């Protein structure tokens, strides 16, 4: 019985971690190149969630087979990622030379705007995709019943993590990203078009966030506050893992996701308190995080 | 000199508000005055010391809940005592938090303060047996200068004695802050902001100056927070949420962080703009987000910056 509970708790934690990783990865890649801590990544997550609900509802309404709901879900999540391109070209590109205080505040402005844009589009009532969560049934894992959908999301997230690792390490675009993150002026001097790199990187970061939001939606309802709530969790993830590090985002997401799941079942009052205390400890003892560079 | 005249003019106008303005607008002045106190302090940290706190709502929360705790759990009703205890608690918490935070600058300082703010927020939210959780706590009507106003209708109390009490607190807070920024301490703070290496070489303890600014700003925030409770009679955890901290910085930027009266202008503009936008459409965040974006991109000097442009140095990367 005990192992069953433990497995169940751990798996729900890992599921949450899988989604958190996607959003945090988006935060990291943008911080790496743009050096902007993007508070709006939580809003992109919320946008992806709502877009996912709408797409799936439309799909089912048009008579699509419930088993295939994941196709419109992922498509919608990725498609609204293009908002990132609009935001980058329309707003962020004006502040790259400014103090980071102003950059942070601009992303806060985007948080405010996105929250109301979502309310205007989808209303204030929570939206969910009723009954699709268990469309793939449940799997038995050491006696614990785990929704197969959760396993799919976890697998997808790991695959995306590997994909990003490959992108950064092996492709030309990845090398350019790393060069730009390391030394922007040198990269520009060597002929890298930073305008294009920034636009692409920000769109990539946004798409990761919107995809994360879309994927979480069969398991929970979309609410207009979900963005501002998630950003502080994603913030904890990147601080624990180390700002700008992909590996850090992966490990940080696991730490936050699993700890949260454990705390909720053991001592609910401590749920987020524990996370923030860890964040503070990490910031004080190792401000570069577990996988960040030494320069902090 | 013109600044002093403008301040004196504003003070006279504020004195006349309850006599000439409709009750509705007089009531709106109450959160303005509370936030103005908060922002005066925050601007010492942000404008003069160059540190961006993204967790200052923590200290508003400390102040507001001090009032709620004292009036709920003890017999203390005196607003003077509440303000003093709020200031002391805010200062104590800030002394501890600040000691840990001031070693860092820029984004790391912002992140640390955000994390501390969220610790307090989750405490307020989750330990509902003590704090009332997301419903918050009631704040009973405090006595002012030992006088009990409980027989007075609530609105009369708020637009009468409570209004002038808040105004007096704001006036004292403004004068004290004026002295602080004009003092050698204020000058040192600006040196620390503009060139920490040089300040250190001149023998100024950079961390110590930042810490002092942090504690002073927290005391201001706690006092302002304590003033926020009585008008609504209720405090809840959203006062300490991170978006509240963001709004505070927004207000500063709206008024202009490069000038002394920027925070006052910013708080005033924010409160009254929010009210007028919300009376037309519910989506005030959309409008405010757009305003904030426009300020950041086009007018980083804020409203006051439209009158006297801050030098390029103050706006560009520090």
The residue ranges of every structural domain in chain B are 2-246
Does any domain span residue A112?
Answer: yes
Q: 10 Å Cβ neighbour count for A211?
A: 30
DSSP per residue, B61-114 = HHHHHHHHHHHHHSS--BHHHHHHHHHHHHHHHHHHHHHHHTT--HHHHHHHHH
Domain that holds residue A272: 2-285
pLDDT computed for residue B52 by the predictor:
87
Calpha distance B143→A198 (Å, rounded): 58
Does any domain span residue A292?
Answer: no
Asked if A109's CB is within 8 angstroms of B290's CB, the reply is yes
- Among B14, B54, B47, B39, smallest CA distance to B228 is for B39
β-pair type (B137-138, B234-235): antiparallel
CA distances from A52 to A158, A213, A215, B197, B206 (A): 21, 8, 8, 51, 50
Six token digits for residue A54: 């709408």
Backbone angles phi, psi at B48, to 5 degrees: -95, -35
Does any domain span residue A293?
Answer: no
A109 CB neighbours in chain B (<8 A) are: 288-290, 292-293, 296
pLDDT computed for residue A1 by the predictor:
61
Query: Nearest CB to B246: which of A37, A108, A276?
Result: A108
- Length of chain A equals 296
A273 CB neighbours in chain B (<8 A) are: 119, 122-123, 126
pLDDT of A265 over the 80 cut: yes
pLDDT band at A193, cuts 50/70/90?
confident
Quote the radius of gyration of chain B (alpha carbons, Å). Answer: 19
Does any domain span residue A291?
Answer: no
CB of B277 within 8 Å of a chain A CB? The answer is no
Query: Nearest CB to B112: which of A113, A119, A280?
Result: A280
In this predicted structure, which of A44-48, A142-146, A228-232, A274-278 has the lowest mean pLDDT? A142-146
Q: 10 Å Cβ neighbour count for A152?
A: 15
DSSP state of B146: T
Closest-CA residue of chain A to B127: A269
Does any domain span residue A42?
Answer: yes
Quote the radius of gyration of chain A (alpha carbons, Å). Answer: 19
CB of B316 within 8 Å of a chain A CB? The answer is yes
For residue B293, the distance in angstroms to the closest alpha carbon of chain A comes to 5
β-pair type (A138-141, A144-147): antiparallel
Closest-CA residue of chain A to B128: A269
Six token digits for residue B117: 């703010």
In the numeric block, the tokens 């994927």 are attached to A215
> What residues form DSSP beta bridges with A98?
B316
Query: Nearest CB to A287: which of B108, B118, B122?
Result: B108
pLDDT of A291 over the 80 cut: no
What burial letters (b/e) apply to B128-160, b meaning 16+ CB within 10 Å?
eeebbeeebbebbbbbbeeeebeeeeeeebbbb
Asked if A272's CB is within 8 angstroms of B126's CB, the reply is yes
DSSP per residue, A48-89 = HHHHHHHHHHHHHHTT--GGGTHHHHHHHHHHGGGHHHHHHH
- Among B235, B210, B221, smallest CA distance to B91 is for B221
Calpha distance B229→B69 (Å, rounded): 11
Contacts of B43 (CB under 8 A, 6+ apart): B252, B257, B262, B263
CB contacts under 8 A, B 218-257 vs A, are 241-243, 246, 249-250, 253
Six token digits for residue B27: 């009531």
Q: 10 Å Cβ neighbour count for A175?
A: 15
In the numeric block, the tokens 């910013």 are attached to B266
Asked if B253's CB is within 8 angstroms of A105's CB, the reply is yes
Q: What percent of chain A has pLDDT over 90?
A: 22
pLDDT computed for residue B316 by the predictor:
42
In the numeric block, the tokens 């180390």 are attached to A242
pLDDT of A294 over the 50 cut: no
A287 CB neighbours in chain B (<8 A) are: 104, 108
Does any domain span residue A176?
Answer: yes
In the numeric block, the tokens 């001031």 are attached to B102
CB contacts under 8 A, B 53-72 vs A, are 54
Note whether B276 and A131 are within 8 A (CB): no
Does any domain span residue A296?
Answer: no
pLDDT band at A293, cuts 50/70/90?
low
Six token digits for residue A156: 């997808």
pLDDT computed for residue A140 by the predictor:
81
CB of B188 within 8 Å of a chain A CB? The answer is no
DSSP state of A144: E
pLDDT of A22 over the 80 cut: yes
pLDDT computed for residue B314 by the predictor:
46
Calpha distance A72→A77 (Å, rounded): 8
A271 CB neighbours in chain B (<8 A) are: 122, 126
Six token digits for residue B157: 């109390």
What burial letters (b/e) apply to B273-300, b meaning 16+ CB within 10 Å?
ebeebeeeeebbbbbbbebbbebbbebb
| Burial group, residue A190, by CB count within 10 angstroms (0-12, 13-18, 19+) | exposed
SS3 state of residue A296: coil
pLDDT computed for residue A24 by the predictor:
92
For residue A113, the distance in angstroms to the closest alpha carbon of chain B comes to 4
Calpha distance A208→A135 (Å, rounded): 24
- Among A49, A30, A50, smallest CA distance to A40 is for A30
Closest-CA residue of chain A to B247: A108
CA distances from A234 to A177, A260, B103 (A): 22, 13, 24
- Chains A and B: how many Cβ contacts under 8 Å? 127
Query: Nearest CB to A272: which of B106, B122, B286?
Result: B122
Contacts of A155 (CB under 8 A, 6+ apart): none
Q: How many domains does chain A have?
A: 1
Does any domain span residue A186?
Answer: yes
List chain B pLDDT tens, one digit each, 318 residues. Answer: 677 788 788 888 888 888 888 888 888 889 999 999 999 999 999 888 888 888 899 999 999 999 998 988 888 888 889 999 999 999 999 999 988 888 877 778 888 888 889 889 988 888 888 888 888 888 888 888 878 877 788 888 888 888 999 999 999 999 999 999 889 888 888 888 888 888 888 878 888 889 999 999 999 999 999 999 888 888 888 888 888 898 898 898 888 877 888 888 889 989 998 888 888 888 888 888 998 898 888 877 777 766 654 444 444 443
Asked if B250's CB is within 8 angstroms of A108's CB, the reply is yes
Asked if A105's CB is within 8 angstroms of B249's CB, the reply is yes
β-pair type (A138-141, B137-138): unpaired
Task: Indicate whether this model's pTM tops 0.80.
Answer: yes
Six token digits for residue A277: 């205390």
The CATH number linked to A49 is: 1.10.3470
pLDDT computed for residue B203 by the predictor:
79
Calpha distance A84→A92 (Å, rounded): 10
């Amino acid at each position: 019985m005990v192992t069953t509970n433990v497995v169940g708790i751990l798996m729900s934690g890992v599921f949450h971690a899988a989604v958190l990783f996607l959003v945090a990865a988006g935060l990291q890649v943008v911080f790496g190149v743009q050096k902007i801590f993007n508070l709006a990544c939580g809003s992109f997550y919320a946008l992806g969630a709502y877009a996912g609900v709408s797409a799936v509802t439309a799909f089912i309404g048009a008579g699509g087979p419930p088993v295939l709901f994941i196709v419109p879900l992922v498509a919608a999540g990725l498609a609204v990622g293009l908002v990132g391109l609009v935001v980058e070209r329309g707003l962020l590109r004006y502040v790259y030379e400014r103090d980071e205080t102003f950059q942070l505040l601009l992303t806060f402005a985007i948080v405010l705007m996105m929250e109301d844009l979502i309310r205007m589009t989808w209303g204030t009532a929570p939206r969910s995709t009723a009954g699709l969560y268990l469309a793939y049934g449940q799997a038995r894992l050491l006696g614990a019943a785990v929704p197969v959908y959760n396993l799919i999301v976890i697998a997808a997230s790991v695959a995306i993590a590997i994909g990003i690792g490959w992108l950064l390490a092996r492709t030309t675009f990845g090398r350019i990203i790393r060069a730009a993150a390391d030394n922007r002026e040198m990269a520009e001097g060597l002929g890298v078009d930073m305008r294009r790199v920034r636009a692409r990187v920000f769109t990539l970061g946004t798409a990761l966030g919107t995809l994360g939001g879309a994927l979480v939606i069969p398991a929970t309802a979309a609410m207009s506050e979900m963005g501002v709530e998630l950003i502080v969790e994603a913030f904890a993830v990147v601080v624990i893992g180390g700002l700008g590090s992909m590996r850090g985002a992966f490990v940080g997401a696991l730490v936050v996701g699993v700890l949260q799941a454990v705390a909720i079942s053991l001592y609910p009052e401590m749920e987020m308190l524990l996370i923030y205390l860890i964040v503070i400890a990490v910031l004080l003892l190792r401000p570069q995080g577990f996988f960040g560079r030494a320069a902090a | 000199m013109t600044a002093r005249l403008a301040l004196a003019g504003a003070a006279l106008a504020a004195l006349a508000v309850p006599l000439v303005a409709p009750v509705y607008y007089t009531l709106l002045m109450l959160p303005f005055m509370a936030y103005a106190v908060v922002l005066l302090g925050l601007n010492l940290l942000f404008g003069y010391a160059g540190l961006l706190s993204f967790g200052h709502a923590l200290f508003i929360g400390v102040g507001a809940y001090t009032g709620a705790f004292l009036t709920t759990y003890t017999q203390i009703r005196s607003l003077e005592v509440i303000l003093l205890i709020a200031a002391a608690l805010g200062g104590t918490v800030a002394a501890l938090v600040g000691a840990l935070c001031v070693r860092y600058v820029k984004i790391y300082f912002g992140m640390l303060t955000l994390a501390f703010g969220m610790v307090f927020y989750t405490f307020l939210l989750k330990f509902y047996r003590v704090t009332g959780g997301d419903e918050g706590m009631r704040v009973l009507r405090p006595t002012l200068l030992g006088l009990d106003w409980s027989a007075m209708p609530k609105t009369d109390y708020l637009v009468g004695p409570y209004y002038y009490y808040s105004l007096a607190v704001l006036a004292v807070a403004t004068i004290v802050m004026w002295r602080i920024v004009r003092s050698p301490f204020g000058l040192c703070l600006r040196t620390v902001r503009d060139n920490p290496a040089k300040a250190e070489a001149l023998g100024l303890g950079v961390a110590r100056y930042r810490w002092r600014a942090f504690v002073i700003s927290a005391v201001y925030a706690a006092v302002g927070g304590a003033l926020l409770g009585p008008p609504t009679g209720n405090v809840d955890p959203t006062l300490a949420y991170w978006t509240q901290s963001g709004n505070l910085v927004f207000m500063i930027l709206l008024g202009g962080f490069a000038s002394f009266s920027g925070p006052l202008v910013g708080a005033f503009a924010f409160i009254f703009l929010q009210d007028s936008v919300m009376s037309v459409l519910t989506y005030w965040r959309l409008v405010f987000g757009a305003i904030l974006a426009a300020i950041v991109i086009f007018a980083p000097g804020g409203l006051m910056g439209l009158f006297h442009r801050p030098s390029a140095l103050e706006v560009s990367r520090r």
